[in-house]
Each structure stands twice: as structure tokens, then as C-alpha cells.
């Protein structure tokens, strides 16, 4: 039964006797969960295809923190692997940083039950950070450097060809705004890039996925969430404040965050101010029309509408190489 047929069936049930309500609610919940699953798999598959994140023979090291994002990343990649156009391996890795109250048994038990190869790396970075960072200051800078170096080393030891992180659409937009507001640069969070040590390729398959969808998926899949007592728990982080701001935008102007993410992939250097990206100092008028030239006093065709935007970006399925069978879930 497709989504439209099932939706029609649910509407018909709504007109029936009240005693059918429990069964109707259960069916509606299944219907919504199925829609969410298809959307998540489609968006992750699309990101993988758009940026060539996973290739035949890759060994993907999925960094698992115990939060909703990394759980969802592992869950969806394992599902996609079963019907992917190329074969690849997955190994889950958790860095146990020895923060107080961290339930060490949760992830090994979950991963063993899941049947996925995994590695737990034990490093007491928490004590190092607490010792070096004064009380009241954010711990992100040192914590992230320590964590990054350890995970790069582990990737080499495990023979991983790609490191998969659980950053999602909202993280990428927030990073762009953070860099604009506080770093004075137009720089976001890349979906795929070589690591700063030059030895690893880092990928973010959740690049097109909204955080609200990941929250719903975590509830549906009943992930054993482990609360973070490190950087993510610090309320004074500027990142927390910017994230709250875009949540408010999404509530008032649906589609705005998707449009911002799309804009990150449609850059026009001639209409910015970076002299390293466009030769402003050497351009000359040559008497013939120029594609993308300045339109002077005319209003931009993409000027903001008078009413809040309601359209959202439509993402296409994971494109399949010629000659291979289609693998992406259908709508």
C-alpha cells in the first residue's frame, strides 16, 4: 500500500466508531514512522551520491558517541548497506573519555546485540580537559582536538578508509552562521573533506537530514541515549544559542533552513567580496553581455517574499550507477 492509499484509509477509519480509535492511532503511528524512514534513507542516500561519500570496498568507521545523531547514522548506514549499489564495510567506534557517570556497558551491549563490528577506545581526556580549562569556560577547543587526534589514530589502526560523523543539516547551517557571526568568514561544515592530518577522509552522510527528524527517529527506534556531560551540556555555548535561533526560524518560516543549506551549494563568487576567489582588480568592460553580471539598480529576482516561505527542498534518491539495480527506498 502506497502512502496516498494508506492516508485515504486512515481518513476513512477516522469517520468510523469511536471504539476503533486505538487501532486507528496505532496504524497512524506506523504510517508516520514509515514515511520518516523513507525520508531519512532517501536523504542519506542522496548525500552519499551527491558527494561520492562511499565507494566500493570502503571500510567506514562510524563514530558513535551514544547520542541520537550517531545512533541514527549507524542505523541508516547498516540498512542502506544491505541494498547499496556498492559493497562496503562498517565498524562502529566509541571514544570513552571517562567522564563521570558514563555508562560503559551500554554501547558494547547495544553493538553486540546489533551484530556490527565495533571498537571501544578508552582515553581519559575528560581529566585532561578539566585540568587545563578554567572552570566556567567552554571546553570545546581542547576537547575536540584531543578527540580528533585519537579517532584519526584509531582509524589508521582499524584500516578504515572513511570516517563517518553524525553532523546533520542543522549543524552545518549553525556552523555557517557561527563563522559569519563570530569568525568573520563565510565557512561552513563540509559534507566530505580530507582531514587536517591528510591521512583520512571525513564524511557526513546526515548532511541533508533535519535534527527534528533524528529526534523522532531516536524515539521510534528506542536508541539507548547516553546524555553528554562534556561540551554539549554547556548552556553558555554560542552554538547552543545559534541553534535555538534557527529552530525559531524553522517554526516561523518553514523551509528557510533547507534554503540556507541549498545556498551553501550554490555559491556565486562574483557576487561576494573575496578577492582570492574572483579577480575583481583586473576585470574590464568589454562591450558585450556578461552572464551573471551586475544588474545595477534592478531588484534581485530572488528578493525575499512578502510572506514567510513555505516550500521545502525536494531531495532525490541515491542515484544508482549504470547497470546496477536501484537500492533507494521509494516514496
pLDDT at 235: 54
pLDDT at 3: 61
pLDDT in tens, the chain (331 residues): 566 566 665 555 555 556 667 778 888 889 999 999 999 999 999 999 999 999 999 999 999 999 999 999 999 999 999 999 999 999 999 998 888 888 999 999 999 999 999 999 998 878 787 777 766 666 666 777 888 889 999 999 999 999 999 999 999 999 999 999 999 999 999 999 999 889 999 999 999 999 999 999 999 999 999 987 665 455 557 888 999 999 999 999 999 999 999 999 999 999 999 999 999 999 999 898 888 888 876 666 665 544 444 334 343 445 444 444 333 333 3
What count of other Cβ atoms lies within 10 Å of the Cβ of residue 93? 21
What count of other Cβ atoms lies within 10 Å of the Cβ of residue 9? 14
- How far are the Cα atoms of 142, 229, 294 from residue 95, in angstroms, in the given order? 15, 14, 51
CATH class of 23-265: alpha beta
Burial string for 312-325 (b: 16+ CB within 10 Å, else e) reads eeebebbebeeeee
pLDDT at 160: 97
| Grid coordinates of 42 | 532517501
Amino acid at each position: 500500500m502506497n502512502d496516498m492509499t494508506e492516508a485515504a484509509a486512515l481518513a476513512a477509519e477516522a469517520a468510523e466508531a469511536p471504539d476503533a480509535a486505538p487501532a486507528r492511532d496505532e496504524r497512524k503511528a506506523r504510517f508516520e514512522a514509515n514515511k520518516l524512514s523513507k525520508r531519512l534513507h532517501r536523504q542519506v542516500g542522496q548525500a552519499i551520491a551527491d558527494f561520492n561519500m562511499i565507494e566500493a570496498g570502503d571500510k567506514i568507521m562510524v563514530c558513535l558517541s551514544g547520542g541520537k545523531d550517531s545512533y541514527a547514522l549507524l542505523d541508516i548506514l547498516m540498512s542502506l548497506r544491505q541494498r547499496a549499489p556498492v559493497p562496503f564495510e562498517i565498524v562502529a567506534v566509541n571514544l570513552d573519555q571517562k567522564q563521570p557517570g558514563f555508562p560503559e556497558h551500554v554501547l558494547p551491549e547495544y553493538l553486540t546485540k546489533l551484530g556490527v563490528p565495533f571498537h571501544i577506545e578508552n582515553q581519559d581526556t575528560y581529566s585532561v580537559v578539566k585540568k587545563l580549562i578554567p572552570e566556567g569556560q567552554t571546553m570545546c577547543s581542547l576537547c575536540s582536538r584531543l578527540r580528533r587526534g585519537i579517532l584519526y589514530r584509531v582509524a589508521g589502526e582499524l584500516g578504515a578508509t572513511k570516517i563517518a560523523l553524525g553532523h546533520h543539516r542543522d549543524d552545518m547551517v549553525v556552523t555557517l552562521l557561527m563563522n559569519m557571526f563570530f569568525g568573520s568568514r563565510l565557512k561552513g561544515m563540509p559534507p566530505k573533506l580530507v582531514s587536517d592530518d591528510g591521512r583520512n577522509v571525513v564524511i557526513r552522510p546526515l548532511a541533508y537530514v533535519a535534527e527534528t527528524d533524528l529526534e523522532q527517529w531516536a524515539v521510534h527506534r528506542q536508541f539507548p541515549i547516553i546524555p553528554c556531560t562534556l561540551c554539549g551540556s554547556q548552556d553558555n555555548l554560542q552554538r547552543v544559542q545559534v541553534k535555538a535561533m534557527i529552530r525559531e526560524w524553522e517554526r516561523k518560516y518553514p523551509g528557510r533552513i533547507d534554503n540556507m543549506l541549498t545556498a551553501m551549494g550554490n555559491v556565486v563568487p562574483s557576487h561576494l567580496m573575496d578577492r582570492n576567489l574572483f579577480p575583481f582588480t583586473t576585470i574590464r568592460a568589454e562591450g558585450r553581455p556578461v552572464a551573471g553580471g551586475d544588474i545595477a539598480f534592478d531588484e534581485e529576482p530572488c528578493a525575499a517574499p512578502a510572506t514567510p516561505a513555505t516550500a521545502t527542498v525536494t531531495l532525490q534518491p541515491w542515484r544508482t550507477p549504470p547497470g546496477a539495480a536501484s537500492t533507494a527506498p521509494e516514496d
